[in-house]
Amino acid sequence: MRVIDSHLHLWNLDVLTYPWLDGALSATYAAEQIDAERLAGVETEAAVFVQADPLEGQSLDEVRWVDATAGATGVVAIVAGARLDRGAETEAHLERLAALDRVVGVRHLLQGEADGFARTAEFIEGARALASRGWTFDACVRAQQIPDVTALAAAVPELPIVLDHLGKPAIGTADAAHEPSAEWLGDLRELASSPQVFCKLSGLPAEAGGNWSAAQVTPFLDAVLDAFGPDRLMWGSDWPVSSVDFTPPEGSEYRTGDRARWFDTVLAWADARRLDADAIFWANACRFYGIR
């Protein structure tokens, strides 16, 4: 079996600064750490690195560091950090990114922006500049912002967009699971009506605070399968964020093996529904990101 992890994070605290890191995440997660999390029984394993939100002025340095360590980490493509609302400054930043061959797309982290931000004229201008380069956009939003991604897809239909983490729905915990909400389901279906939009099967463990079960996440996986179909889904580990348990009273803790646990859960779900595992774990991500 071959697997490309469509959503891998890496960081080295001796190289860059990440103000948002806390608890168990406030440590280096790089080549040595991901090597210990390789998936058993997988013949070919590669990854797409997704920007991890360092200080804004370090986004280009982040790409350079990941590019330099790609041989050791298995990274074959990079989704770089970039603000898309800065006009000429955005254009200049994209031009600098273009000098690095592994860059295939951009993520402007929308989850921290006000609702409606992705509908602004400035952001749409930047999204069009991104599309003109043949690059992709990773949409990391909270559930109530999914309609903003739908509006962006309509405004820039030539831009390939992937919804990170199923749009971060409220899923509860393994002990107090939530069912998919009517609002999330409706917004998801509307977004999926845009054919250039894909969805990552990633991030649900983090949305549960690290306390999750296969039974809990299955209705959400079924919902995105129903909305997007099997040809627009791709597996991602969201490592190391989704490998941290945030529930212990003494503080969060990193759990070795949770990356493989999420992989096994999604693989078992796909097998039970007789889906093409090679598509979900390899081909769809390669097609979306233009990886050959």
For residue 77, name the pLDDT band (cuts at 50, 70, 90): very high
Q: Note the pLDDT tens digit of each residue in 90-106.
A: 999 999 999 999 999 99
| Euclidean distance between CA atoms 251 and 264, whole angstroms | 27
The tokens describing 165, both together, are 């983490």
* DSSP alpha helix (H) spans, 87-228: 88-97, 121-132, 146-155, 182-192, 204-207, 214-228
Mean pLDDT of the chain: 98
Q: Output the pTM of the full model.
A: 0.98
| Euclidean distance between CA atoms 148 and 115, whole angstroms | 7
- What three-state secondary structure class fits 245? strand
| Euclidean distance between CA atoms 62 and 81, whole angstroms | 8
| Euclidean distance between CA atoms 149 and 172, whole angstroms | 24
Domain that holds residue 268: 2-289
| Euclidean distance between CA atoms 165 and 88, whole angstroms | 31
In one-letter notation, the amino acid at residue 83 is R
CA angle 230, 194, 218 (to 5 degrees): 35
| Euclidean distance between CA atoms 74 and 83, whole angstroms | 26
Q: Is the pLDDT of residue 230 over 90?
A: yes
- Residue by residue, DSSP assigns 2-68 as EEEEEEE--B-TTT---TT--GGGSS-BSHHHHHTTPPTT-SEEEEEEE-----GGGHHHHHHHHHH
**What does DSSP assign to residue 279?**
I
Average pLDDT of 180-203? 98
From the list 239, 149, 237, 238, the residue with the least C-alpha distance to 198 is 149
pLDDT of residue 264: 98
- Could you tell me if residue 238 is left (phi over 0), alpha (psi between -120 and 50 degrees) or otherwise beta? left
pLDDT of residue 14: 97
Q: Is the pLDDT of residue 65 over 90?
A: yes
Task: Give me the CATH number covering residue 24.
Answer: 3.20.20.140
Q: Is the pLDDT of residue 7 over 90?
A: yes
Q: Note the pLDDT tens digit of each residue in 135-191.
A: 999 999 999 999 999 999 999 999 999 999 999 999 999 999 999 999 999 999 999
| Euclidean distance between CA atoms 81 and 205, whole angstroms | 23
Q: Is the pLDDT of residue 249 over 90?
A: no
| Euclidean distance between CA atoms 63 and 236, whole angstroms | 19
Q: How many distinct structural domains can be found in the chain?
A: 1
Q: Is the pLDDT of residue 83 over 90?
A: yes
72 to each of 22, 272, 283, how far by Cα in Å? 26, 34, 22
**What does DSSP assign to residue 172?**
B
pLDDT of residue 233: 99
| Euclidean distance between CA atoms 290 and 292, whole angstroms | 6
